[in-house]
Amino acid sequence: MTSRTIGSIYPLCLICIYGLAGLVFAGETENFRFDPDQVLRFAEYLYNEGEFLRAAGEFQRYLFLAPAAADADSVCYLMAKAALRGGDYPRAQSIIESFTDKYRNSIFAPRLGIYGSIIEYYRGNYNESIKLALAESEACRPLKRLIVALNYVNLGLYDSARIWADVSSDSGHVSVNPSYPCGPYERLSAELYLKIPLADTVPFKNPTTAAVLSAILPGAGKIYCGRTMDGLYSLLLIGLAGWQAYDGFHDDGSKSVRGIIFGAAAGTFYAANIYGSSVAARLRNQIIIRKVSQGIQVEIDLP
C-alpha cells in the first residue's frame, strides 16, 4: 500500500473516531439532561457556587422530570430560596404560593411562611413586611423579631426597632418548632440592638415645626432644616413681591394691576414656602434614615 493511499485513509479514520465519540458524548449528554438525579446534583452545585437563578431553573427542571419524588417539597423549598437569594422576588413569591398549595403539611412550610415578609423587606415595602411578619406563626420568633426590627430601622422608628431587637425581652421563648434553625437570629438581633441609635439622639426635623416657622417668617423653616441660602432666597423673593404689591395698591388703589399681580405672586410664594419647608424637613429626615440604615448592615440569613 503506497504512502498516498495511507495518507487518504488516515483522515477517514479520524473522522470515524470523532464521529463515534460524538455520538457517545451526545448520548451521555442526553442522559445527563434527562436524568433527575444528575439534574438535582447540578442544581445543588450551582446553588453552592452562588448561581442562584440558574440553580432555581435546574430545581424546577428536576421537579418537572420527577414530580412525584419523595423529596419534591424540599426541592421546591430550595427553589424558592434560590429565587429569593437571586433577587427574583416575583418568581420567589410565585414558588411560595405554589408550595403552599401542594405541600401544606411539609416540615419546610413554616420556613417559607416568613419569606413573604422578607421579600417585601427587600422590595422596600417596610410597612407591608411588618404586617406579614406579625401575621406569621411562632415558628421562629427570633427571626420575626429581627425582620420587624430591621423594617422599623428603615422607617426611622428607632425606639420601636430597639424594642423588637431586644432579645432579652423574649423570656427564653425561641421556637415552637425545634427543626427550625433559630439560634443565629438571636445573635443577629442582639448585634442589631447595639447598633440602633436612641431616637432622641438622631437630629430629625419636625415637618410641622418647619411649616409653622415659615408661616411666621418666610424662609425660617428652611433655615431650621439646614438650608440657609434657600431660606434667605425665599425671604427675599416673598419680601420683594409683597413690597411691589403694597406699592402698587398704595399708588393706584385697590384696582391696581401691578398690586394684584404681585399680590398673587407673593401669596403663591408664601404658600409654596410653607409647603416647601415641610417637604425639606421630610427630605432631611429621609437622608438621615438612609445614612443610619447604611451604617447598620445586617443580612438576613434565609432559614
User: Confidence band (pLDDT; 50, 70, 90) for 30?
Assistant: very low
Instruction: Look over the chain and give the mean of its residue pLDDT values, rounded to a whole number.
Output: 82
**pTM to 2 decimal places:** 0.75
**58 pLDDT more than 70:** yes
User: Confidence band (pLDDT; 50, 70, 90) for 101?
Assistant: confident
Q: What superfamily does domain 33-113 belong to in CATH?
A: Tetratricopeptide repeat domain (1.25.40.10)
Domain positions in the chain are 33-113, 124-199, 207-295
Q: What is the mean pLDDT of residues 171-188?
A: 64
| Residues near 33 by beta carbon (within 8 Å), at least 6 away in sequence | 39
Q: What sign results for the dihedral spanned by CA atoms 136, 140, 145, 148?
A: negative
Q: What is the DSSP string of 43-94?
A: HHHHHHTT-HHHHHHHHHHHHHH-TT-TTHHHHHHHHHHHHHHTT-HHHHHH
C-alpha cell at 128: 407591608
Query: How far is 82 from 193, CA to CA, in rounded Å?
Result: 29
Instruction: Write out pLDDT tens, residues 42-52.
Output: 999 999 999 99
Instruction: Write out pLDDT tens, residues 258-283.
Output: 788 888 888 898 899 999 999 999 99
Q: How many residues does the chain have?
A: 303
Q: What is the mean pLDDT of residues 235-244?
A: 87
Q: What is the predicted pLDDT for the residue at 171?
A: 53
